[in-house]
Chain A
Amino acid sequence: QVTLKESGPGILQPSQTLSLTCSFSGFSLSTYGMCVGWIRQSSGKGLEWLANIWWNDDKFYNPTLKNRLTISMDISNNRAFLKIINMDPADTATYHCVRGAGPARAYFDYWGQGVMVTVSS
């Protein structure tokens, strides 16, 4: 059974760095072709894909946010991470961890329920 669960700080001040953790089970990022990503959902922008990381440490980022994002993984402990620097109130959203599916891992067959992140002074 595949599960993903996000964790994060809940609330941040503007300009701070967001660190999110995705703890998953039912698959391994050491498996050839496997991929985990991050997607956020806000009332203002809807669903927005942020980044993917592959089993071989390849990474793809949304160009809109690329300079602010870092995705990484801890294969041994079945975790993936996302850091976003210089957080702004516009980054207030629910952040979802997802598993990539298909030959290109371009759609997402399992989602975490998400973690709400609020950016406010």
Chain B
Amino acid sequence: DVQMTQSPYNLAASPGESVSINCKASKSISKYLAWYQQKPGKANKLLIYDGSTLQSGIPSRFSGSRSGTDFTLTIRSLEPEDFGLYYCQQHNEFPFTFGSGTRLESK
């Protein structure tokens, strides 16, 4: 199985700041990585797929990038509603696997 190593575990930032969350695949997954946001009491939200394609309806302050097996989710100019949990998922091969999550908290 492809192991997804996500970092950092916790991240504290203030509204208006920019943050980055990283995910490293244990082997090549080409561009096939998705990012999700999780918030209490709400269904998980797909943010990005194929490494850098923004899902419809997601604000453009979210972006994804890739360098080899390293992937980054960047959120520019944080809004209050952006605080929560973030997960990456490789969608290159079965079984699909997830990162361990990053908790983005308000400083």
Q: Annotate B87-107 by CB proximity to A: 1 below 8 A, 0 otherwise.
A: 101011011111111000000
* Interface set, chain B 27-73, CB cutoff 8 A to A: 32, 34, 36, 41-46, 49-50, 55
- Max chain A Cβ within 10 angstroms of own Cβ: one of B50, B94, B96: B96
Instruction: Tell me the smallest distance from the CB of B38 to a CB of chain A, in Å.
Output: 9
Which size bracket describes the interface of B in this complex? 20 to 34
B46-A101 in contact (CB<8A): yes
Which B residues are in CB contact (< 8 Å) with A47? Answer: 87, 89, 98, 101
Q: A113 with B96: in contact, given A47-B89, A106-B32, A106-B91 (CB under 8 Å)?
A: no
| Pair count A-B, CB < 8 A | 55
Of A26-34, A56-64, A70-78, the one touching chain B: A56-64
Q: Which of B89, B91, B94, B98 has a CB less than 8 Å from the CB of A60? A: B94
In whole angstroms, how far apart are the Cα atoms of A96 and B41 in the complex?
13
Chain A residue total in the interface (Cβ 8 A): 21
* Residue from B42, B49, B87, B95 with most neighbouring chain A CB atoms (10 Å): B95
CB proximity of A64 to chain B, nearest CB, Å: 7
Q: List 18 A-B contacts (CB under 8 A).
A: A4-B43, A47-B89, A49-B89, A49-B95, A49-B96, A60-B94, A101-B46, A102-B50, A106-B91, A107-B34, A107-B46, A107-B89, A108-B34, A108-B36, A108-B44, A109-B55, A112-B43, A113-B42
Q: Footprint of A on B, CB under 8 Å?
A: 1, 32, 34, 36, 41-46, 49-50, 55, 87, 89, 91-92, 94-101
The interface of chain A, by Cβ under 8 A from chain B, is 4, 46-49, 60, 62-64, 96, 101-102, 104, 106-113
